[in-house]
């Protein structure tokens, strides 16, 4: 069993923006049993509790990702009218390979802003979305000044 406190190991820096100290401790323990020190009191969390923390962390990160995405989208749309037109233009008006167009429509995407909201990891997991198709989409966003939506 691992014993972790607030300052134990250093995790990837991007997690510090998303996760609480308890969630980061669970992350460092690989969501297995661990002891977490809270205000000098050791709390023993079993594997079931660590897995529950993992699910909560995923939901937490997804919600924060949407908030950050909307902020990025708002910034991009205010900063450049060309980007705004690209993101809000209906998919039918974009020059996309037929297979990609149909996959995006099946996933309820009406315009490129919806595609960006899905995110790279979600797009990867969609049935039929190959590496080449994903690369094509990411290049389309990069060519139109929107690559930061996938960071």
Higher pLDDT, 115 or 17: 115
The DSSP-derived string for 9-67 is SPPPHHHHHH--HHHHHHHHTTTS-EEEEETTEEEEE-HHHHHHHHHHHHHHHHHHHHH
pLDDT at residue 45 in the model: 92
User: Is residue 79 classed exposed, middle or buried when 0-12, 13-18 and 19+ CB atoms within 10 A define those classes?
Assistant: exposed
What are the backbone angles phi and psi of residue 4, rounded to the nearest 5°?
-125, 145
What are the backbone angles phi and psi of residue 9, rounded to the nearest 5°?
-100, 165
pLDDT at residue 95 in the model: 92
Residue 5: pLDDT over 90: no
Q: Which helix (H) or strand (E) holds 113?
A: helix 112-125
Q: CA angle at residue 12 from 11 to 16, to 5 degrees?
A: 80
pLDDT at residue 101 in the model: 95
Q: How many helices (H) and strands (E) does the chain have?
A: 7, 3
The residue extents of the domains of the chain are 2-59, 80-150
Residue 146: pLDDT over 70: yes
Read off the pTM. Answer: 0.61
Helix orientation angle between 81-88 and 112-125, rounded to the nearest 10 degrees = 60
pLDDT at residue 15 in the model: 62
- Tens digit of each residue's pLDDT (9 = 90 or more) over 43-81: 999 999 999 998 988 888 888 878 887 888 788 878 888
- Tens digit of each residue's pLDDT (9 = 90 or more) over 96-136: 999 999 999 998 999 998 998 888 878 888 888 889 999 99
Residue 6: pLDDT over 60: no
Report the Cα–Cα distance between both ends of the chain, in Å, rounded: 35
* CATH, range 80-150: 1.10.150.20
Between CA 48 and CA 34 the distance in angstroms is: 11
């Amino acid at each position: 069993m691992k014993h972790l406190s607030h300052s134990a190991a250093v995790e990837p820096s991007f997690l510090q923006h998303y996760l609480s100290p308890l969630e980061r401790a669970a992350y460092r323990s690989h969501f297995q049993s661990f002891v977490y020190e809270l205000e000098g009191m050791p709390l023993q969390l079993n594997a079931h509790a660590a897995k529950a923390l993992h699910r909560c962390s995923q939901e937490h990160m997804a919600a924060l990702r949407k908030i950050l995405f909307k902020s990025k989208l708002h910034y991009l749309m205010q900063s450049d009218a060309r980007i705004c037109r690209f993101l809000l233009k209906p998919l039918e008006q974009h020059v996309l390979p037929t297979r990609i167009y149909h996959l995006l429509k099946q996933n309820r995407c009406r315009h490129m802003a919806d595609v960006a909201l899905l995110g790279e990891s979600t797009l990867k997991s969609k049935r039929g979305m190959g590496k080449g198709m994903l690369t094509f989409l990411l290049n389309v966003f990069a060519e139109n000044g929107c690559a930061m939506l996938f960071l």
